[in-house]
């Protein structure tokens, strides 16, 4: 991968990356000077005239930067990356969002199908060698009469095309979730501060002030929003109380968006039907936390984005932004730092 750039630029990488990735970056252009700093002292020295930076920025490093124009984060999340001096600095910041949207969307639909078809309860029953349909433990299949009447077992199993999903945050992850839910025939609602319709799937995305309306109408509420000051503890006791008692809350966005104590209390009081959580306000979730013992709660340890495809996409995103930077082209995944003020 070579480019026609003729102006030499310096890229500082810290912490250091492996030799294979380093070589790939160095091959982009002979006009790119890559410094792969192996320790803090080297990074502090080399940042003074660096044009670009990839890695973990700190206030100390930023204070030594005299020529910095662009900072690429190695992650999509920003809550542990940003600090006041970085927000105020004129350097453009880009992140790694969008690499795992389809992977996380798959995880969400796994949660949805599990709840809709009671797969988690049947797995529990399997561990006890127990046979018994959810809805009527003693029901037996009638091969003579056929399925002519609605039974308690039927009522205990959801048909996805009869269900409604509300998506909180219809960005790249939310859009992929919507596509999959639409394929199952689900009715969709979405809220986002910057509404962008999804043609033929979600034609109208509501502003955030209609979130209570979404909560009241959704069987499955999926949080796919980023963590910003405005979204922190958005789902507090009052917000959760506006959900239907038969609805499920799914969070694959950020743990800080959901008040853990408020959600736990709502589940204990049966204010909602259940929850599926990949992210938590406290991670790891403490071993003695009540959520562990709730049969209507699904817990995965922040792995919704796990995929062998993500590392290769990660490298390609970095390479593409370096190429764009060297050619003075618009960078991908620019971050609005002021949203964190």
Three-state secondary structure call for residue 23: helix
Whether 213 sits among the annotated catalytic residues: the reply is: no
- Active site residue: 9, 97, 107, 254, which one? 254
- Active site residue: 283, 309, 312, 329, which one? 283
Quick one: which H or E segment has residue 260? helix 260-268
Could you count the other beta carbons within 10 Å of the beta carbon of residue 124? 12
291 alpha carbon, distance to own chain's centre: 21
- Rounded to an integer, what distance in angstroms lies between the CA atom of residue 278 and that of residue 108? 9
- Return phi, psi of residue 261, to 5°: -65, -40
Whether 320 sits among the annotated catalytic residues: the reply is: no
- Active site residue: 289, 302, 313, 324, which one? 302
Burial of residue 336 (number of CB atoms within 10 Å: 0-12, 13-18, 19+): exposed
331 alpha carbon, distance to own chain's centre: 21
Using an 8 Å Cβ cutoff, are 234 and 243 in contact? no
Catalytic positions, written as ranges: 254, 283, 302
């Amino acid at each position: 991968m070579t480019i026609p750039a003729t102006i030499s630029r310096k890229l500082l990488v810290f912490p250091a990356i492996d030799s294979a990735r380093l070589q790939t970056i160095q091959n982009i252009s002979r006009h790119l000077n890559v410094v792969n700093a192996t320790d803090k002292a080297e990074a502090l020295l080399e940042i003074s005239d660096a044009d670009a930076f990839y890695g973990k920025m700190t206030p100390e490093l930023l204070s030594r930067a005299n020529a910095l124009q662009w900072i690429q984060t190695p992650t999509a999340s920003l809550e542990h990356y940003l600090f006041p001096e970085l927000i105020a600095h004129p350097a453009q910041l880009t992140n790694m969002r969008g690499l795992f949207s389809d992977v996380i969307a798959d995880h969400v639909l796994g949660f949805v199908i599990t709840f809709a078809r009671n797969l988690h309860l049947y797995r529990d029953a399997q561990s006890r060698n127990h046979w018994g349909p959810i809805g009527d433990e003693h029901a037996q299949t009638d091969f003579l009469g056929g399925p002519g009447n609605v039974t308690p077992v039927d009522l205990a199993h959801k048909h996805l095309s009869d269900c409604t999903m509300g998506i909180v945050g219809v960005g790249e992850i939310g859009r992929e979730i919507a596509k999959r839910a639409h394929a199952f025939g689900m009715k969709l609602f979405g809220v986002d501060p910057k509404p962008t319709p999804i043609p033929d799937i979600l034609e109208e995305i509501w502003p955030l002030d209609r979130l209570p309306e979404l909560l009241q109408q959704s069987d499955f509420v999926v949080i796919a929003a980023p963590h910003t000051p405005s979204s922190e503890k958005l789902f507090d006791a009052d917000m959760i109380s506006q959900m239907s008692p038969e609805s499920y809350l799914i969070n694959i966005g950020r743990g800080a968006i959901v008040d853990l104590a408020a959600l736990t209390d709502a589940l204990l009081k049966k204010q909602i039907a259940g929850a599926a959580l990949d992210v938590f306000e406290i991670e790891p979730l403490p071993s003695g936390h009540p959520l562990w013992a709730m049969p209507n709660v699904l817990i995965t340890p922040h792995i919704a984005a796990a995929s062998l495809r993500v590392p290769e996409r990660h490298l390609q995103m970095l390479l593409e932004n370096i190429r764009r930077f060297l050619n003075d082209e618009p960078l991908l995944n620019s971050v609005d730092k002021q949203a964190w003020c």
